[in-house]
Amino acid sequence: MSDTFFSGAPHWTWFIILYFFVGGIAGGACFLAAVLDWFGGPEDRPVVRTGYNVAAVGAILSGALLTIDLGQPLRFWHMLFQSANFPAIMFKGWSPISFGAWAILVFGFFSVLSALGGMAEEGRLQNPALRAVGGAVRGGSGLAKVVGGVAGLLGVFIAGYTGVLLSVTNRPIWADSPWLGALFVASGASTGAAALILLGLRRGASEQSLARVSAFDTKALVVELLVLAIFIGSLGSVNRVWLSFWGLVLLVGVVWLGILAPLRLHLQRRPVASAAKLVLLGGFLLRLATIFASEGVDRYRVAAGM
């Protein structure tokens, strides 16, 4: 059994779990929106605008959730600037936390710009300053595609960053496999697509556009299932920790309800909304089980053969 079984748990709150979930959706939705922005047609514009809106709101919520979780939330700016040498920036390239804080900030900047461009495209901006900014990156323009492309690439990083952050800790499950980041990327892609399906239905998305998103979600779910299997297999003897309640959540909630059931619905061309809801449920339960199974290791010492 890995010696990481005897390190202390961080005891994260629900704010961090929600941050992992929201960040994955925001990153996946932004990436898919950028792909459709570059390679899609006019019928895809409602989904593209929706994706950028999801990314912008998700980036803002992610920052807020991280700030609230801090012991002293009002000092969140210390993550970005040197308190004793303001406005000199605080950036530590070797620190996943510092790197991630800046990535969220930059991702938020580009995703908000893309969202404003989409609003300008629809004529929804009344404030003169916002209308000027949105007009500069108006949806469908060349500059808008560049901004959206940068946001989409950063979205992939944001979706997988949380998994990488967990893997560099000294905790069982998290530190025992190099596949956690890839798993979170795949899950972010599937949950991001699911969010676009549900919201796209309300934003006037065409059936053809929703079919494209559904096809992408199908592929993302297949990749997620394969990566999850590789992740579980790479844990070796640590897998005995899944002989617990969280193992049941992983098997029933994530694999069965969150991946296999929506895959079946997609392949049968059943209502896409039902599949999307199950995908979102599975994505949340994946992060819940991954975090709580590791944090509860001290209660499962029998799994370590002790």
Q: What pTM, to 2 d.p., does this model score?
A: 0.88
Query: What does the pLDDT profile of the chain (306 residues) look like in tens digits?
Result: 444 444 555 556 678 889 899 999 999 999 999 999 999 989 999 999 999 999 999 999 988 887 776 665 555 655 666 666 776 666 666 666 666 677 888 999 999 999 999 999 988 888 999 999 989 898 778 899 999 999 999 999 999 988 888 887 777 888 888 999 999 999 999 999 999 999 998 888 888 999 999 999 999 999 999 999 999 999 888 888 888 899 999 999 999 999 999 999 988 877 789 999 999 999 999 999 998 888 666 554 444 444
The C-alpha atoms of residue 253 and residue 248 are separated, in whole angstroms, by 8
Rounded Cα gap, residues 189 and 237, in angstroms: 29
As beta bridge partners, residue 194 has none
Q: Are 69 and 14 contacting, i.e. CB atoms less than 8 angstroms apart?
A: no
Residue 296, helix vs strand vs coil: coil
Query: What pLDDT score does 304 carry?
Result: 46
Q: How far apart are the first and last CA of the chain?
A: 10
Q: CA–CA distance from 302 to each of 18, 170, 214, 296 (Å)?
A: 30, 20, 42, 12
Q: From CA 3, how far away is CA 123, in angstroms rounded? A: 58
270: left (phi over 0), alpha (psi -120 to 50) or beta: beta
Maximum Cα–Cα distance across the chain:
67
CA dist., res. 248 & res. 252, Å (int): 6
Run of H or E including 99: helix 96-122
Of 120, 101, 221, the closest CA to residue 162 belongs to 101
The third-level CATH classification (topology) of the domain covering 3-304 is Formate dehydrogenase/DMSO reductase fold (1.20.1630)
The ranges assigned to domains in the chain are 3-304
Which is nearest to 194 in space by CA: 252, 287, 274?
274
- Among 14, 63, 46, 25, smallest CA distance to 200 is for 46
Q: What is the DSSP letter of 258?
A: I
What's residue 171's pLDDT? 78
Chain centroid to Cα 22, Å, comes to 6
Say if CB 179 and CB 227 are below 8 A apart: yes
CA nearest to 269, candidates 225, 228, 226, 215: 215
